[in-house]
Structure 1
Amino acid sequence: MKKMIIRTASIEDLPILLDFEQKIIEVERPMDPTIKQNEKINYYDIGAYITDSNTEVVVAEIDGEIVGSGYGQVRDRKRFFFPQKKGYIGFMYVKDEHRGKGISQAIIKYLCHWFQENNLHEIRLTVYEKNPKAIRAYEKAGFEKHLVEMRIDLNNK
């Protein structure tokens, strides 16, 4: 494989990152009937995240081409939890033609190091149960299932 680097995203990367976000939404829409289907939506405020000191947006590059992304974010927890802050990982994306090359693992490793530098020792993320490839990638990185979110659609009962 050609040399891959993981680096902090810059505002100049925003057009590519916004495209990645739309690709994530496109994949996840069929997994979640509550996502609006016929309009452009955004999950993230990526531009604000890039400049936020509590968020580290990163990109993976191979030979100068951005092929993946992710972010780590410091989040407050409810007062009855300890520690008071946790890490959260989101916006994980790797271009189709670069999947299976360890890019998501490299992004997660980079973000874990960033969390450690910020004295955070617990990281959480959410993933659709209907996304087994992503679940396997996170499990490979050491994540374990912790909570199960359930839903019911009363209109279809």
Structure 2
Amino acid sequence: MSAAARDFLKGVRKGSVVCGTVGAIHNFGVFVHLDGEPDPEDPIGFVRVPEITWRHFRELDEVIAVEDRVRGEVIDVDEQRLQVCVSLKALQPDPFVPLAGRIGEVVRGPVTMIFGDHGVFVRVADGVEGLVPRAQLRGEVRVGDEMAVEIAEVDLARRRVLLSRVEW
């Protein structure tokens, strides 16, 4: 890596906000060409998969694409690897926080996943799915079915939502 790239890296501080363009996507994370980088062929920015978004997704291309402009917070500057680790979700509102104030509220949402003998997951807000226990399910339930549920519990520390099925 060039001296200019090393100088650029030394000027980046943990906690600062950076912008850039997605250069490459891999199953382990996303490489980002940070604004001001001296070598556009060798991206310095890197976003690990868990730091991309609060939303649940199966494939990265559901939430990010090459050439996307991104904005994130620097969470680490790794001078050994010559890399700036960035969190995009650090600048996004956490969807669990407002949900914690909605205990007892009835909402409708699609079933997003059948979780074996445990129950089903239902999307109750953008980026948030909660579990309806198997004991509360009647008949066959399929992914995509709409379900009315009551928000029974929100565990912010464990990032889990427990739901109760409501019959309409």
Structure showing greater radius of gyration is: 2
Same fold (TM over 0.5): no
Give the number of the structure whose residues are more often strand, by fraction.
2
Instruction: Report TM bin, short chain.
Output: under 0.3
Name the TM-score, length of structure 1 as normaliser: 0.25
